């Protein structure tokens, strides 16, 4: 049995694999923070060396207008499929760093979990794939051609790879786009993802007062950025949670009757959701099933808002400025650039009298997309997962974004296959990110088994 | 001429006065920050010693449930009026401290301005009064009985003195409540204030998510505190800036026809306002004159709002919590406790589904009040100011609050006389607070001349 062989291979090499994984996690490769640019480069160079060591002789960096992309290619036997594996070596910021129980870039294996920023997203979830490839190459069981692309800007919009990938069209041609940067619904629920949402972002600032003004001497007269920015943000949604930005819904791919049925049939336990997240699933557009709101419909979120005083007690000021950071998740069919323009136009139209609205930053990630549930690759992945879990894998649509996937699928001609081993408990994007070694091992078994069969 | 004598007296003692003033300013007596409690006590003790040195032999600390109050009394001649002078030795916080060009508690006299937290509010504006009293006592020209009360919690609600002042009723009996903790409309515009607004404060927090949630995996499903708190705050006002909190306007003292005329006649230059503050006077209730919005009507302001990410780039989270700090200024006639209850009830009624609203802090300052424009003390102050400035003083209503004044007036039986020498350029409550030595000197001349005539 393949699975037994791969299991014992992993267990025999466990200490070495964990040690190498910790080396990779020690790089503070935070792509959104310019101060960590060098750390990102060092991380990319480590990956190139590592790929060389496991049998990808031509591993190298491809330059982009942003951070370089790690690329490697290993020819397989003629007539065998071409697999393009995608991952990213950059990670989210770590603030508030005071809430981390272990330092985010001092990887710590404790109680069976690797604790570090990136332990799961995405260093854990691409490193098990590399380890699976290492095993297949060493045992001479890899017949497919394998191409690897690991970018360094997934957490900030994938600008470099997006700007350059069309130049690499020949190099990227593939049959299967293998993606593991994704979660599963539960530890015993293997999950195949049939779509992702797109992403746009915008940072808005309201300013005007030359300095913080005394709220007694000016309250009721001076327009207050910390009062007006909330009022402006409140115009983004109607009372029922529907987005009130004109034109924002243009192009949203209609939900087919088959998808409607599938959405309603997807298992969802509101009480479990509340226990796992602390909140009931009452956000977004009222009256739609959770699976629709999460995977098939767009949403706008405030990721941060900051103005004025936040200490104990009272500080009677009208703050000089207020800033909000927004992201929107886009459904399949929406044009990200048009959505961003609609959002900006709405904010400008509703900007308060007397204050200045500045769009400090804005950017377009990839669009959303949805796949056919009938794909051949989905069938193969389902068979592999059935072998591992003895259960039929769940199909679902993912609410998150991998901005570059829609673009990579288009350029490579490959069909994206999205199966990963993340769990809610991993706290990705939050303090104390971690990844169970057991899930890392499952990812390894999945990739090895899937590719061994090609 | 009195003025000439006091002028030369000040100029002869200038260096000593400035040096003593700098000693007072060096205490970081920030009453809202528990870490500075000892600094507040040290400042109060310094004032007691200083009052002894200028002729108040019984100067001492009066204990309260909060910070102690500096009290001193010097009997005058029989039949002469009793003057109660009020000031405060506490100051506002100094954040963001990085924006200060000189350290806030290293007083620096530069280009004729004293730069320090408290340089004006209120250490500058009470210290010139003490120096005027020193001169009058030294020259044996003080015939009135003078009582001095300098509290240590004005910037955080005056709780200690408010809780205790009724016990001191006998001690505080007076004819005139002399207050200099106030601004004038311009450097050549002596100003008599006929009213102050009241103050309440409240800190609201929305929470729910156990941690920051991934905005892709949860956007459109999890209620977002950073999105819902702005929506909640937006319910506080109607589109025309009128407060939409039921019951909040109850009791607001009607504006008399005479006051309506006075409000419209008060000089106000919108362009000057914009140059001085950076904003046009477009806040508050639309359609009312500035003087009404500032002095005769209540307002609610957001002093700070904080949630989630504020760095460069993108962090795709649904923040675990969002917090807003609110203050409201109250018109004469409003009951602060009822206004606070109405505000809290409104927030609870509009709190979003799925999240938890917590009122982290709340408190009641004093009520607002308005005086008769016909007062005898106002006439005396006007005469003194005419002598100094050769112009008729402006009468106005002040938008700010001195929470304790309404209470002190009631307990002491004295009529409050509000004339001070603050200017907009002093940046009180903001970084780089300063006070022109010239204005300090004018305050000294005013107090000395006014009291010499009693």
Mutation target among A91, A245, A301, A334 for the B interface, most CBs of B within 10 A? A301
Partners of B430 on chain A (C-beta within 8 Å) are: 211-214, 317
pLDDT band, residue A370 (cuts 50/70/90): confident
pLDDT digits (tens, 9 = 90+) for A288-330: 999 999 999 999 999 999 999 999 988 999 999 999 999 999 9
Would you say residue A1 has pLDDT above 70?
A: no
Assign A383 to helix, strand or coil.
Answer: helix
Strand, helix or coil for residue A76 = coil
Domain with CATH 3.40.630.10 in chain A: 2-196+368-452
**The pLDDT of residue B210:** 97
Provide the shortest C-alpha distance from residue B190 to chain A (in Å): 17
Model pLDDT, residue A365: 79
Rounded Cα distance, A442 and A128, in Å: 9
pLDDT digits (tens, 9 = 90+) for B76-96: 999 999 999 999 999 999 998
Cα distances (angstroms) measured from residue B283 to each of A103, A307, A354, A360, B329 = 46, 17, 8, 24, 14
Cβ–Cβ gap A303/B282 under 8 Å: no
- CATH classification for the domain delimited by B2-196+369-452, as one of 3.40.630.10, 3.30.1490.20, 3.40.50.1100, 3.10.105.10: 3.40.630.10
How far A130 CA lies from chain B's nearest CA (Å)? Answer: 25
* B contacts of A285 (beta carbons < 8 Å): 220
Name chain A contacts of B299, Cβ cutoff 8 Å: 219-220
Give the whole-angstrom CA distance, residue A410 versus residue A406: 6
d(CA B95, CA A114): 39
Per-residue pLDDT for B27 more than 70? Answer: yes
Distance CA A341, CA B112 (A): 51
pLDDT confidence tier of residue B73, bands split at 50, 70 and 90: very high
Q: Which of A401-415, B205-219, B277-291 has the lowest average pLDDT?
A: A401-415
**Structural domain A198-261+284-364, CATH architecture:** 2-Layer Sandwich (3.30)
In this prediction, residues B296-309 reach a mean pLDDT of 98
Give the model confidence (pLDDT) of B313-344 as tens digits.
889 999 999 999 999 999 999 999 999 999 99
| Mean predicted lDDT score pLDDT of chain B | 95
Reported as a pLDDT band with limits 50, 70 and 90, residue A361 is very high
Domain B198-252+298-364 sits in CATH at 3.30.70.360
Higher pLDDT, B407 or B208: B208
The predicted pLDDT at position A156 comes to: 87
Share of chain A above pLDDT 70, in %: 100
- For the cut 80, the answer to whether the pLDDT of residue A403 exceeds it is no
Q: A19-53: per-residue pLDDT in tens?
A: 999 999 999 999 999 999 999 999 999 999 999 99
Q: Is B278 on the interface with A (CB under 8 A)?
A: yes
In chain B, positions 199-258, which contact chain A (CB-CB < 8 Å)? Answer: 199, 201, 208-224, 226-227, 229-231, 233-234, 237
Of the partner residues B276, B311, B354, the one whose CB lies closest to the CB of residue A283 = B354
pLDDT at B157: 80
pLDDT surpasses 80 at B145: yes
Cβ within 8 Å, pair B226-A303? yes
Contacts of residue B67, Cβ cutoff 8 Å, sequence gap at least 6: B31, B37, B40, B41, B44, B90, B151, B152, B153, B160
* The pLDDT of residue A313: 87
Least confident of A97-106, A127-136, A271-280, A362-371: A362-371
Please report the pLDDT score of residue B11 as a whole number. Answer: 97
Superfamily of domain A2-196+368-452: Zn peptidases (3.40.630.10)
pLDDT in tens, B40-50: 999 999 999 99
Chains A & B: contacts with CB separation below 8 Å: 367
Name the residue in chain A with its Cα closest to that of B223.
A283
Asked if the Cβ–Cβ distance from A399 to B220 is below 8 Å, we say: yes
**A370 contacts A194 by C-beta, under 8 angstroms:** yes
Cβ contact, residue pair A318, B298, below 8 Å: no
pLDDT bin (cut points 50, 70, 90) of residue B297 is very high
What is the arithmetic mean of pLDDT over B111-121? 98
B403 pLDDT above the threshold of 80: no
ipTM above 0.85, yes or no: no
Q: B450 in contact with A at a CB cutoff of 8 Å? A: no
How deeply is A303 buried, as exposed, middle or buried, from its count of CB atoms within 10 A (0-12, 13-18, 19+)? buried
Of B283, B306, B401, the CB nearest to A306: B306
Phi-psi region of A189 (alpha: psi -120 to 50; beta: other; left: phi over 0): beta
Contacts of A399 in chain B (CB under 8 A): 216-221
What stretch(es) of chain B map to CATH 3.40.630.10?
A: 2-196+369-452
Task: Answer yes or no: are the C-beta atoms of A314 and B363 closer than 8 Å.
Answer: yes
Question: For A212-234, what is the mean pLDDT?
Answer: 97
């Amino acid at each position: 049995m393949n699975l037994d062989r791969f299991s014992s291979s992993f267990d025999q090499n466990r200490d070495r694999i964990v040690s190498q994984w910790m080396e990779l996690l020690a790089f503070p490769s935070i792509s959104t923070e310019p101060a960590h640019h060098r750390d990102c480069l060092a991380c990319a160079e480590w990956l190139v060396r590592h790929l060389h060591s496991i049998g990808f002789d031509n591993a190298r960096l491809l330059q982009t207008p942003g951070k370089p992309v790690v690329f490697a290619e290993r020819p397989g036997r003629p007539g065998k499929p071409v697999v393009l594996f995608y991952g990213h070596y950059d990670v989210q910021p770590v603030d508030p760093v005071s809430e981390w129980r272990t330092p985010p870039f001092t990887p710590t294996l404790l109680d069976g979990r690797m604790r570090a920023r990136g332990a799961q997203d995405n260093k854990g979830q691409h490193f098990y794939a590399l380890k699976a490839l290492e095993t297949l190459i060493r045992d001479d069981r890899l017949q497919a051609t394998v191409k690897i692309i690991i970018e360094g800007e997934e957490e900030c919009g994938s600008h470099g790879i997006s700007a350059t990938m069309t130049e690499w069209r020949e190099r990227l041609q593939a049959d299967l786009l293998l993606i593991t940067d994704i979660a599963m619904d539960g530890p015993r629920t293997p999950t195949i993802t049939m779509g992702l949402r797109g992403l746009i972002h915008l940072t808005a600032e309201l300013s005007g007062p030359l300095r913080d003004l005394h709220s007694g001497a000016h309250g009721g007269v001076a327009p207050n950025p910390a009062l007006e920015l909330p009022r402006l943000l409140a115009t983004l949604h109607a009372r029922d949670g529907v987005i009130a930005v004109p034109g924002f819904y243009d192009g949203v791919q209609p939900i087919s009757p088959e998808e409607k049925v599938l959405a309603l049939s997807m298992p969802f336990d509101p009480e479990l959701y509340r226990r796992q997240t602390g909140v009931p699933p009452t956000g977004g557009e009222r009256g739609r099933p959770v699976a629709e709101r999460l995977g098939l419909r767009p949403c706008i979120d405030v990721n941060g808002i900051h103005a004025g005083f936040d200490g104990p007690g009272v500080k009677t000021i009208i703050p000089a400025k207020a800033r909000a950071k927004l992201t929107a998740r886009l459904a399949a069919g929406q044009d990200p650039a048009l959505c961003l323009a609609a959002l900006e136009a709405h904010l400008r139209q509703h900007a308060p009298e007397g204050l200045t609205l500045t769009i400090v930053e804005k950017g377009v990630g990839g669009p959303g997309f949805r796949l056919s549930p009938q794909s051949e690759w989905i069938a193969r992945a389902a068979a592999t997962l059935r072998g591992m879990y003895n259960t039929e894998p769940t199909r679902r649509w993912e609410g998150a974004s991998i901005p570059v996937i829609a673009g990579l699928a288009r350029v490579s001609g490959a069909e994206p296959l999205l199966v990963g081993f993340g769990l809610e408990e991993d706290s990705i994007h939050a303090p104390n990110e971690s990844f169970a070694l057991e899930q890392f091992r499952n990812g390894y078994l999945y990739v090895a088994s899937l590719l061994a069969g090609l």
